[in-house]
Structure 1
Amino acid sequence: MSRVYLTKVYNRTENIGCLHPLGIMYLAGMLRDRQPGKHEIKLHDMILRREQADVALPQLLAWEPDIVGFSCMTHEA
C-alpha cells in the first residue's frame, strides 16, 4: 500500500479567502474509487491552517509518504 500525501499550499501574499481544496480532494477520490485499498491518503490544507512550509514540512516528513502532491495556482493573465 502506498502512502499519498496531498497538500494545498499556503500563499500569504494573496487574500482570496478560504476555499475547499477541490483539486486534491478530486485526486484523493479518484484514487480511492479506482484503486480501492491500494493507497493510504492524507490531505493537508495549509491555507485553512495558515501554515507556512517550515511548519508543514516536518508533518509531511513524519508521515513518510511514498508520493507527495502539491496544489498551487497562479492568478496571472
Structure 2
Amino acid sequence: MPKVSPELLSILRCPVTGSPLVQEGEELVSTEPGADGEKLRYSMEDGIPLLLPPELLAAANAAGSSHTDSQA
C-alpha cells in the first residue's frame, strides 16, 4: 500500500468540498462531508491520487475504455 507523504497531504484538498484529505488505506478521504452528508473517497492508482469527483471519474473511465477499444 503506497503511503502519501505528509508534505503532499498537507497541500491536497478535496475538489468538491475544498477540505483537507486524510489517507485511509489505499484511499484519500475528505475531512468534510459532501452535499449528500457522506465524506468523499478518492482512490489511488500506482501511488497517484485520482482526485476527480465521482461523476467525472465514472465518465473518464468510460471514455478511457472506449478510447482504448477503438485503438485495438
TM-score, length-scaled by structure 2: 0.29
Which structure's relative contact order is higher, taking Cα pairs within 8 Å and 6+ residues apart?
Answer: 1
TM-score, length-scaled by structure 1: 0.28
